[in-house]
Structure 1
């Protein structure tokens, strides 16, 4: 039987299963979801499926397995590595869980919430807030990122320093596996020694092992007091010393510690004409510190932070500082930090690297890597900003003025990324700290990854998805009959960028 009748029969069966609301092949409706938000990858899809329940997801996956139709799961399409973009063949089904956005249960006493995978992060924040609690993970794309996507990529954000990444916040998972069977483990247990922790296998798997349909997540007490401090420091080495000082002085109240160089702040101020620099004068590096407390510790927070900063000034760890007096001022500080990536995109083409090295070595790495890249590629500007406390920074290399974007990214840009990744690996780090591998970093992971670890990844993929139908060409390539499964066939796209994630 030819491929075309198979696809026709599949579409007819899928339409009967999901109805017109749940399945569309309309090019105008499908097109917005075929390009990743950075505009680097554009693919084609057989159709866009939007099931409304876990039962429909399971039935649809069984249908795909029967017909040999690959599935590309997609949350908010705010990923950074093309992990939710189909390839150029047009044979894959794009699977959106955005209709599945309900809160199934919220337990205030147990401090946990069970919600469906299509729930948008910002709506999760609102649901927790309405119960006097908080979901302690946030990021710039909170208005579009979904719970399923966050789990699938083990997202981080700006509060990992205190609360950890999604891996630490997921208490239970419900997922549909490649054969359409349902893995249901939503009820959290403090102690459970019945073998492997299978939910952890699914977290960070980028939809290659199963399709997450719901999750039970940890909540924490609501913030009763929050203080943000914008500091100027003379070097990233001093920023590292300030971090150690704050960890000692503030303890668990320290929730965020973000760094950015002068060039990044200047780019943001040019990008946001209404924004103002928090401090007077020029400073080589800036640090944004956030401390929080629940109701029990609210009264003591500001005196504790002021005492800590007074000691930092005395130790010459800080050149100048501004304290937020209220929520709006704290948000204004964070707007500056969250606008670094879009501000740098506005300057022109760049290659972005989401990297980590051991926390204690990050300052040394930045001091080594930035001048090394600028010397090797004259005219570029290398900037590092982000989560110093987590040993994770976003290392962006901005192209010289006047270059053509796609040509530069495909030529010098790839050479730059290879050199950055080589340095990260030599320093004992990771080429993906929080954004995943997707299709963007697939080749580099195969080039630089530990062969034993890569072999284990392939064996797990083969065991759970023997037909290679779940998000092919992402994270790991698995062998199957007829050759490698999921060779990434898409290339750089020309679609405009969407809002920062």
Structure 2
């Protein structure tokens, strides 16, 4: 694999002065309080360090900052909303480059069904800008009120609507990117067909800021939703829930927007720890799923379709119970049950989390096999596999045994990773479905990624960032001065 030299830790005296001249003194922050929120990600696993937070207001300013960093070999870590979960946004020296000021919607083209936005736009604002034109931008995440579109693209974010619309990669038509040397690549074309050589935009989507700094994007828009139906079902097994999914996919087609799986343990902890959560079904079941159909046709009878399919599934014995919402408040109450899983799991003690994908045909097998394997590693461990099973993405978390000390449980972090990821590998799956690699999975990646693919990735990194200053130490092991991939202070 190609090896690149690590950047020196020292920052030249004149460097901050140069940044101040580029973006103005109000936008080069060095105070510890200003930096604090940008030195850790949401899970608080790593504590980073940086000499400054720099907030450019335009692509031209980003380019000049990049040139200054390249001239002084200072690392730069791009930041959106800092809602990542794998350590990709934690800086270890150099500067944090916040795109928050670059939050303009540059253009909306309703006939072309595209929108050009700057990287600092908050996802919820992008959604609203599309809605203001009677259109839909379908990317939807629990953090949509704070995450930013540049970060969504840099991590190839997924979310709850991937089943119908695809990941962030599928929702992007063009990019504007500042390279490590300060050059600006303008690929902001709203074309659905452009067969003029290598498709460079896809290098940067999912690269976690290691190849370039995304400053703007052309996004796909879709017809607005004018009819919707939401249901919550209870089944006797994971296999039965997936059988219901298969039936819905076959008959509802593109109307099936979401199919979110929850095991009994997930619903139990949400009902236990979320005061605004309400029990959706009268009896407890082995498995649950949240289903949503949507259509741009206002006269589409989606509720009737759901009622027919679910009634037939009950008669066939694959479904034990179901409820269909009759109002937006009821819909929100059901989605709350899905969205509160991760935050309520922390009340059950330490948790070791995995974001994996397997073929949809093996989802049920994976959940059962991995659950049994984890209980064999640690009797009393409480596996919790949930998520976007309609596209094969399972968030497979493990809660500590009741009564066990947190530190004792978290000491088994690597062992659980080895077991879970080994099963994923055996099923031709991926150890990262939508959260990325970052630091958390950097040192595991060589065990599961094709070596030729890893070599190609390193070569691309070497061409686009030969000084290794763009988010160094993330995704690939390059250089000698690397941040820790498995920190001593992991919180679970």
Range of TM-score over shorter length: over 0.9
Instruction: Verify: 1:467 aligned to 2:472, yes or no.
Output: no
Q: Secondary structure at the match of 1:62?
A: helix
Aligned to 2:5: none
Aligned to 2:423: 423
Task: Indicate conservation of the 8 Å contact 1:226/1:327, yes or no.
Answer: no
**Which has the higher mean CA deviation after the structures are superposed, 167-176 or 128-137?**
128-137
Q: CA deviation at 1:422?
A: 1.3
Q: CA deviation at 1:491?
A: 6.1
Q: CA deviation at 1:259?
A: 0.6
Aligned to 2:119: 117
Task: Indicate conservation of the 8 Å contact 2:266/2:341, yes or no.
Answer: yes
Written as runs of structure 1 = structure 2, the 5 A alignment for 1:282-297 is 282-294=284-296, 296=297
Q: 2:287 and 2:238 mapped to 1: Cα distance?
A: 7
Q: Secondary structure at the match of 1:299?
A: coil
Q: 2:408 and 2:30 mapped to 1: Cα distance?
A: 32
Aligned to 1:214: 216
Q: 2:11 and 2:223 mapped to 1: Cα distance?
A: 53
Aligned to 1:395: 396
Q: Secondary structure at the match of 2:443?
A: helix
Task: Indicate conservation of the 8 Å contact 1:438/1:474, yes or no.
Answer: yes
Q: Secondary structure at the match of 1:472?
A: coil
Q: CA deviation at 1:305?
A: 2.1
Instruction: Verify: 1:160 aligned to 2:162, yes or no.
Output: yes
Q: 1:260 and 1:468 mapped to 2: Cα distance?
A: 41
Q: 2:268 and 2:54 mapped to 1: Cα distance?
A: 43
Task: Indicate conservation of the 8 Å contact 2:11/2:74, yes or no.
Answer: no
Task: Indicate conservation of the 8 Å contact 1:250/1:308, yes or no.
Answer: no
Aligned to 1:84: 89
Q: 1:5 and 1:477 mapped to 2: Cα distance?
A: 21
Aligned to 1:433: 433
Q: Secondary structure at the match of 2:12?
A: helix
Instruction: Verify: 1:316 aligned to 2:348, yes or no.
Output: no
Q: 2:159 and 2:9 mapped to 1: Cα distance?
A: 44
Q: CA deviation at 1:6?
A: 4.6
Q: 2:170 and 2:209 mapped to 1: Cα distance?
A: 19
Q: 1:27 and 1:97 mapped to 2: Cα distance?
A: 19
Task: Indicate conservation of the 8 Å contact 2:439/2:484, yes or no.
Answer: no
Task: Indicate conservation of the 8 Å contact 1:468/1:486, yes or no.
Answer: no
Q: CA deviation at 1:471?
A: 0.5
Q: CA deviation at 1:245?
A: 0.4
Written as runs of structure 1 = structure 2, the 5 A alignment for 1:198-209 is 198-209=200-211
Aligned to 2:172: 170
| Alpha-carbon distance change, 405 to 69 in structure 1, aligned in 2, over 3 angstroms | farther
5+ long unaligned stretches in structure 1: 479-483
Q: Secondary structure at the match of 1:443?
A: coil
Aligned to 1:64: 69
Task: Indicate conservation of the 8 Å contact 1:233/1:239, yes or no.
Answer: yes
TM-score by length of 1: 0.94
Q: 1:25 and 1:73 mapped to 2: Cα distance?
A: 16
Q: Secondary structure at the match of 1:8?
A: coil
Aligned to 2:255: 253
Q: CA deviation at 1:130?
A: 1.3
Q: 2:405 and 2:211 mapped to 1: Cα distance?
A: 38
Q: CA deviation at 1:442?
A: 0.2
Instruction: Verify: 1:107 aligned to 2:109, yes or no.
Output: yes
Q: Secondary structure at the match of 1:367?
A: helix
Q: 1:473 and 1:384 mapped to 2: Cα distance?
A: 30
Instruction: Verify: 1:39 aligned to 2:40, yes or no.
Output: no
Task: Indicate conservation of the 8 Å contact 1:43/1:490, yes or no.
Answer: no
Aligned to 1:137: 139
Aligned to 1:23: 28
Q: CA deviation at 1:21?
A: 2.0
Q: CA deviation at 1:324?
A: 0.7
| Alpha-carbon distance change, 355 to 278 in structure 1, aligned in 2, over 3 angstroms | same
Q: CA deviation at 1:5?
A: 7.9
Q: 1:99 and 1:486 mapped to 2: Cα distance?
A: 31
Q: Deviations over 1:120-169 (max 9, x none)?
A: 11111111111111111101111111101000010000100000000100
Task: Indicate conservation of the 8 Å contact 1:177/1:464, yes or no.
Answer: yes
Task: Indicate conservation of the 8 Å contact 2:354/2:397, yes or no.
Answer: yes
- Give the aligned length: 485
Q: CA deviation at 1:177?
A: 0.5
Q: Deviations over 1:235-273 (max 9, x none)?
A: 000111111100112111000001111110000011112
5+ long unaligned stretches in structure 2: 1-7
Q: Secondary structure at the match of 1:184?
A: strand
Instruction: Verify: 1:374 aligned to 2:379, yes or no.
Output: no
Q: Deviations over 1:74-119 (max 9, x none)?
A: 11111010110012xxx31111101111100011222111111011
Aligned to 1:326: 327
Q: Secondary structure at the match of 1:474?
A: coil
Q: CA deviation at 1:404?
A: 4.8
Aligned to 1:481: none
Written as runs of structure 1 = structure 2, the 5 A alignment for 1:45-56 is 45-56=50-61
